Structure 1
């Protein structure tokens, strides 16, 4: 069941990220992200109120939920920024490589890393490097470097989001944790928007895709978070990381982004490594 949750989340995030590429170039990042996060919170609020076991959530779970929301807001900001300036074929594999960080964290905490796992990590790192090197068609070095930095920030944010979110789910209840996470992310974006005193209201035509993105995003993160109370919850996080490959395929079909054999090979190398770490 954890694997199924992760695969559905990957599909939802793949569609979401294709829409990110569309809206991030037509609106202010913080205001667009605030609309997405807020609409997702409004979707999950009535479900959490009706079906959430609020008596089961603990103070520590509340704290982890807030940390999850802050990390998710940071990850989303990096993701939107990266897609605003970099092509999907460059950004998606880097963001999707966040399981490498999870493996590294496990190693630091004394969990042994096997030789095949180490090889898979090397394949992911090499594939990401190749994607970055080959994706230089229309971007100057400054733009590519900025997009890569933001994508790495998103990968770090997603790795910590899933770790904190599943821990919060194990200590509390799924729907309350999901709602608290969304509320924390909305609060973080609102405070950042106030601090920067920037941003314009998105155009009316962008509100439908932004709301749809909120629904897709909430569904995906909710599924991965809910998997924290299931057997082999790590399967959900790793399977969800395949969203990058789905985004690349969708961008090739709908945005007509060019993909050479070398870029396909590098992208496949990344996602094969990710798949091995999970399965």
Structure 2
């Protein structure tokens, strides 16, 4: 199923993005990095969106849905970054990774038929991601765990809202235009939060190449999940994209030589087996 393939590409992009976060998080704050990544990604996709987007069909409903998706996306990233900053990973990763329940639930509430076996497969994807996160070695917490849970809940809920609103905006108007508006609004909100936190502070020049790569990856990931709106079962793109945390762990094993336990590999097998089942 094409929507699942799109979601897996998004998960890979966000997985690489999160590997990069490990390096830049020690050099700059969360909000400066987030704003820079969003700005770079928006600049990269703006020319294509202007030429490929059908701006004539972007009525007030499509514009409002796109703007709401942009707000949700900024909140999703903020919740994700803050939850992982406080930790531990085994606590917050399963909460954030559970957002496909909301995505599929929204699709069901909108009239899309979701069978019992599809619900079970979605649950298996979430369980696999949760297993990998819970068995991650980072057990230390740098703050209140209840606060970490709240940030993780914000991140997961906002991710589900981002994809649902973004795909609805693409249905109501033009995919390319909806994606660009989503990103412009996300940039604006990130800048507002940055100013509110004590003024605009940009990352060091040495961090810009890595932040640029993160911006491109983020642009691709968000764009293809929203673009899945025109495919069959677009909510399954959100399901596959939710594996980005697990992809990060796999990439850390492959690139950074971090250890993966047999239990984590079992979670990986469970997750991709369930995705394979959804694709049939």
User: What range describes the TM-score normalised by the shorter chain of this pair?
Assistant: 0.7 to 0.9
Aligned to 1:180: 181
- The range that moved more, 199-208 or 27-36, is 199-208
Aligned to 2:153: 152
Per-residue CA deviations over 1:110-149 (Å, capped at 9, x if unaligned) read 7776443454455456556655654465414856655454
Aligned to 1:81: 82
Residues 24 and 83, structure 1, Cα contact 8 Å, conserved in 2: no
After TM superposition, give the deviation of residue 15 of structure 1 in Å.
1.2
The alignment covers a number of residue pairs equal to: 279
Identify if the C-alpha distance between structure 1 residues 143 and 24 changes in structure 2 by more than 3 Å, giving closer, same or farther: farther
After TM superposition, give the deviation of residue 12 of structure 1 in Å.
1.6
Taking the aligned partners of 1:192 and 1:75, their CA distance within structure 2 comes to 14
Aligned to 1:170: 171
Aligned to 2:216: 215
Residues 99 and 274, structure 1, Cα contact 8 Å, conserved in 2: no
Taking the aligned partners of 1:267 and 1:144, their CA distance within structure 2 comes to 26
After TM superposition, give the deviation of residue 100 of structure 1 in Å.
1.7
- The range that moved more, 155-164 or 82-91, is 82-91
Identify if the C-alpha distance between structure 1 residues 247 and 87 changes in structure 2 by more than 3 Å, giving closer, same or farther: farther
Taking the aligned partners of 1:231 and 1:109, their CA distance within structure 2 comes to 14
Residues 62 and 168, structure 1, Cα contact 8 Å, conserved in 2: yes
Taking the aligned partners of 1:163 and 1:104, their CA distance within structure 2 comes to 10
Taking the aligned partners of 1:213 and 1:260, their CA distance within structure 2 comes to 28
Taking the aligned partners of 1:236 and 1:67, their CA distance within structure 2 comes to 19
Residues 70 and 183, structure 2, Cα contact 8 Å, conserved in 1: yes
Aligned: 1:38 with 2:39: yes
Taking the aligned partners of 1:138 and 1:242, their CA distance within structure 2 comes to 20
- The range that moved more, 69-78 or 97-106, is 97-106
After TM superposition, give the deviation of residue 42 of structure 1 in Å.
0.8
Aligned: 1:226 with 2:245: no
SS of corresponding position for 1:38: helix
Residues 3 and 239, structure 1, Cα contact 8 Å, conserved in 2: yes
Residues 88 and 247, structure 1, Cα contact 8 Å, conserved in 2: no
Taking the aligned partners of 1:78 and 1:120, their CA distance within structure 2 comes to 26
Taking the aligned partners of 2:152 and 2:34, their CA distance within structure 1 comes to 16
- The range that moved more, 85-94 or 152-161, is 85-94
Residues 124 and 269, structure 1, Cα contact 8 Å, conserved in 2: yes
Identify if the C-alpha distance between structure 1 residues 267 and 93 changes in structure 2 by more than 3 Å, giving closer, same or farther: farther
Identify if the C-alpha distance between structure 1 residues 79 and 249 changes in structure 2 by more than 3 Å, giving closer, same or farther: same
| Structure 1, unpaired ranges of 5+ | none
Identify if the C-alpha distance between structure 1 residues 162 and 11 changes in structure 2 by more than 3 Å, giving closer, same or farther: same
Taking the aligned partners of 2:9 and 2:127, their CA distance within structure 1 comes to 27
Aligned to 2:249: 248
After TM superposition, give the deviation of residue 271 of structure 1 in Å.
5.5
Residues 7 and 238, structure 2, Cα contact 8 Å, conserved in 1: yes
Aligned to 1:72: 73
Residues 238 and 275, structure 1, Cα contact 8 Å, conserved in 2: no
TM-score if structure 2 supplies the norm length?
A: 0.84
